[in-house]
Amino acid sequence: MKKNINVDVVVIGGGPSGYSSAFRCADLGLSVVIIEKYGVLGGTCLNVGCIPSKSLLHLATLIKETKSFLQYDIELLNVNKINMNNIMKWKNDIIISLSNGLNYLAKKRNVDIIHGVASFIDINTVEVVCKDIHYIIYFNYAILAVGSKPVQIPNIPYGDARIWSSTHALNSINIPKRLLIIGAGIIGLEMATIYSALGSQIDIIDNSLEFFPGIDSDIRDIFIKYTKKDFMINMNTIINKIESLENGIMVTLQNNNKTTDKILYDNILIATGRIPNIDSINLQDINIKLNEFGFINVDLQLRTNISHIFAVGDVVGKPMLAHKGIYEAHIAAEVIAGKDHYFDPKVIPCVAYCDPEIAWTGILSKKAKELKIPCRIISIPWNFSGRAISSNCAAFGMTKLLIHEENKKIIGGIIIGRHAGELITQISLAIEMSCDIEDVALTIYPHPTLSESINIAAQVFNKTATDILNI
């Protein structure tokens, strides 16, 4: 059966940037259809990424916190008794609940969802085949929000079910005794945090020379020191050979000293990054321009080279973050509705939701040095903080602010420690608002809180702190 649809806006992809753009378009009075190949909204983030990983990371943190009290002879629960079936049911119930919420919001906004894969016929028409229905959708505007997919690296026997992507890792009911993670980025570190708490012995390898090169070296040192009891991070290391054996996967590793090790693993998790998910939508036939890395080129209003076709989210490149995609989605929808808006944030915060969390925003030390920005860096260790000490997280916490020496504006910040991802927003807001450091120093923060570390860092800059020595 063939069905023709005329609509103001077709959104291809139902992830955070896709449904956000669709919902914003609907709120602005436009008719909208979402085409989603999996038939459920939320994309990678909700279904196989951010939400399930944060659920399991929360559980991992609880397990580690509970075990940490044993050093004080306080036994809370038997955390060694882990039922993975129950854990996966709990995690899946969270996904279902949030998915149902998105479907409710779509219905209330009269946004239709078509299950299928979109393919461009021309610059104003897409087709979708869904079971017995062949949709031809005529649109005035299109928003491409097709997201990304994991990179596949050569010489990996992907046919072996013991070779995991992050999706497999988030859905496994088995806890490997020994797990190799390839990639020391955010995904690899989060998966290491989860599985080390569940009881796996973890090795992380990465062929890069430097661990987390973009963040400050002292923060990296704190993280490595705190996590070395949970997993090993081996940089400048490559795989020479992988053998699928009956009792495991034999991996031959070569490190920077050219020495090799042969280690038997139960599973291997590939966490080496993501690439744009554009293979199936026929972009080449409408001459959408890509950049040198294969991402879709857009301007500051998220327009592609075809003025009525927009692109948002992972498909337009780094940083590949849901919150960045959602922000872009709002801009694209508003431009389509006639508003003169642009994607021009001063900062985009980043968070590694491992344990301890690392969150950063704005210009950090290395970049400030490269740009020759005259700045002063204030570092506040959490061992001063009553809240951190009473929450058993003082040993590995630190808050850093970078302040421009001349205009006294905050230009960046980085936090390591519990709830760093929640705290970093205050620094991002201060940068977006062009706050003087004195504005933060003179703001009354609740006591005792972890957020006080930001307030006291500002006070130290002004030499008005009393909870720590002014430097």
Q: Annotated binding site for FAD, which residues?
A: 54, 314, 320-323
The whole-angstrom separation of Cα 254 and Cα 465 is: 50
DSSP E strand boundaries for 184-259: 201-205, 231-234, 238-245, 248-254
R_g of the chain, CA atoms, integer Å: 24
Residue 36: which residues within 8 A CB-CB, separation 6 or more?
13, 14, 18, 43, 113, 114, 115
Asked if 309 and 141 touch (Cβ cutoff 8 Å), the reply is yes
**Could you tell me which residues are annotated as the binding site for NAD(+)?**
183-190, 273
DSSP secondary structure letters along 376-395: EEEEEEGGG-HHHHHTT--T
Q: Contact at 8 Å (CB) between 9 and 25?
A: yes
Between CA 105 and CA 23 the distance in angstroms is 8
Residue set of the binding site: 54, 183-190, 273, 314, 320-323
Catalytic site residue 447?
yes
Residue of 82, 100, 80 lying closest to 92 (CA atoms): 100
Peptide bond into 448 cis (omega under 30): yes
Q: How far is CA 222 from CA 218, 362, 394, in A?
A: 6, 21, 12
Q: Are 266 and 179 contacting, i.e. CB atoms less than 8 angstroms apart? A: yes
Which residues lie closer than 8 Å to 239 by C-beta, 6 or more apart?
155, 182, 205, 251, 252, 253, 254
CB atoms under 10 Å from CB of 176, counted, come to: 22
The answer to whether residues 458 and 441 touch, using CB atoms and an 8 Å cutoff, is yes
Closest CA to 12 of 46, 35, 31: 35
- Strand 274-276, strand 148-150: pairing: antiparallel
Nearest to 269 by CA among 314, 295, 231: 231
Amino acid at 85: N
Centroid of chain to Cα 416:
16
Considering the candidates 58, 115, 330, 447, report the single residue annotated as catalytic.
Answer: 447
Annotated catalytic sites, by residue?
447
